[in-house]
Chains A and B, each alone.
Chain A
Amino acid sequence: MTSGRSIDRTLLVASTLGGVILLWLALVESPSLAGRENVTSPLAWKLFFFHVPAALASFIAFGVALISAVLYLRTRSTTWDHSTHAAAEVGVLLSGLTLATGLIWGKSEWNDAWDWTNAKLVMTLVLFLVFVAYLALRQNIPEPEKRARISSLYAIAGFAAVPLTWFAHRIWNTFPHPQPLEPQTTEQGITTPGIMPIFGFGVLVFILLFAALYRWRLQLLEAEARVEALSVATEVPA
């Protein structure tokens, strides 16, 4: 347990320090894209260093949640259920961060915060909503065993909708409908020298952040379950 503690502490310190360094790198050190073609808002573009890493980390989080849900149904071990819960919570946080930064960037770059014809946006929103609904479902089932079983099933069913939404959007895009908003700026920006290392660092920081929060939340959930079990055990004889 002590080695686990030190891993947690290292992860927390590393991701916090990394976050501060990332802020400085992204806001001060990163090359400016001002005056570029297709970039109307070079300042908002700096959100890229937080937006994309947060999105990648949230996909990892939801992946962990899905795998844990499947493993729970196979093994019926509560640790896997707690793992799904913890990963879903952190995933919702990261996904919300992705959506928020995306909205701000979209507003200043496209002059339109949301674009329903963009598959990535809608897919991220569906994923976000599925796991918000997952957390709402958990809140509403008092019995721990039932809660674990039912919410794991929902996580699996919900995840199945995500690739379907992706394909639906690929078909949707062939529909004769104007496509004025093509986000080419990121592809252009990424080839600019000096951006790739900072972006890579950002991905690392967000993955560390996910790992730190996930482990932290997981331990908290385990502790909560132990307290609950103890209080039930002491109440029954009285």
Chain B
Amino acid sequence: MLTLSRSLHRERDRGTWEALALLPVDWGTIYFAKVAANAVILLLVETIVLPLYAVFFNYDLVTPLPKLIPVLLLGTIGFCAAGTLLSALSSHARAREILLPILLMPLLVPLLMMTLQATHKILLGFPSSELLAEHELLVAFDAIFLAIGWLTFDYVLGE
């Protein structure tokens, strides 16, 4: 969440933002690019944290890894889709670093619930047929927030 707020707030402070706004591309595209950049950073962190987690908690993460990766990917994309949008929104406000988690948490409730339940089921060794509902909802969450971000990013930054 800290990287999220840094990624946009720093650009506002340094004036990078104005340069980006001058680019001859749709602002929706800039939004997708920002989501992608945030997702890459978050995935990097995950590749470091996940092995550490396996070591410290003595879990076998190698066998369930093929099932775990889609959930992690979907969760990361959803987190970044909602997070980037709200970080752009909160960049207009005072006390934005404090405000962002307050704004973001309620929206992330469904995403967190589904990723938690999916990882829980995977670690307990459920067959993939029982994970379908969670995947569907994660895809829906990602699609809805990417769509909202793409469609409303003009409004967010237009000034």
Contacts and interface: CB of A to CB of B under 8 A. Distances in A.
B148 A160 contact: yes
A169 B113 CA distance: 8
B89 A168 contact: no
Contacts of B102: 133, 136
A164 B105 CA distance: 14
A221 interface: no
B106 A158 contact: yes
Interface stretch (B43-51, B56-64, B139-147): B139-147
A154 B86 contact: yes
Chain B contact surface mostly: helix
Nearest to B130: A174
Measured as residues with beta carbon below 8 angstroms from the partner, the interface class of chain B is: 35 or more
B103 A161 contact: no
B119 interface: no
B109 A165 contact: yes
Interface size class of A (residues with CB under 8 A): 20 to 34
Contact of B134 (A122, A146, A171): A171
24 contacts: A122-B109, A129-B105, A130-B106, A133-B103, A136-B99, A137-B89, A137-B99, A140-B99, A141-B93, A146-B92, A150-B89, A153-B156, A154-B86, A156-B152, A157-B82, A157-B89, A157-B145, A158-B107, A161-B109, A167-B110, A167-B140, A168-B137, A171-B134, A175-B117
Interface of B: 82, 85-86, 89-90, 92-96, 99, 102-103, 105-111, 113-114, 117, 121, 133-134, 137, 140-141, 144-145, 148, 152, 155-156, 159
